[in-house]
Amino acid sequence: MSILRIEAPDDEARLADWRHVHNVIVPPAAMSLDDVRERVRRNRMEVAYLGDVLVGCTTVRPPADDGATATVIARVLAEHRGQGFGEELYARGLDQARASGAEVIETVVLAANEDGLRFARRHGFVEIERYFLPGETAEYIDLRLN
């Protein structure tokens, strides 16, 4: 049995893999590689593989200098859901957020991502806000760990 391998996107191939998972799961907010390169400087990001097969990615936005809220986002490609990979990625992200000093944990899910919403709610997140980004038609939901 293969073990989930989780790595920082510290080269072009892993950055491209992180981007692929993000863009498949959040197509309205599709990112370029330059966007990902900029984001990896601000956030803790990881890419997950089962053997050599891309499974998912994570983003942990650490608390801002003036607050104690971190954002944890775990993304698993649809064909790999229901196998515990989201659990493992989420637990790692939660640990990373807490290690960064977070006292409050939030996540954000595309409203159309029913699997993601179910996962978040099952893990104790409650909805705090729904919104549309300027000029977009996709609805996002911010949730906070209760």
- Which domain covers residue 63, as residue numbers? 4-145
Mean pLDDT, the chain, whole residue set: 95
* Structural domains of the chain, count: 1
Ramachandran angles phi, psi of 120, nearest 5°: -60, -45
Which CATH number covers residue 88? 3.40.630.30
Joined tokens for residue 132: 């549309």
Q: How many CB atoms lie within 10 A of CB 47?
A: 25
Joined tokens for residue 31: 């990112």
pLDDT, tens digit, for every residue of 92-120? Answer: 999 999 999 999 999 999 999 999 999 99
Whole-structure pTM value: 0.93
First to last CA, the chain: 35
pLDDT for 1 beyond 70: no
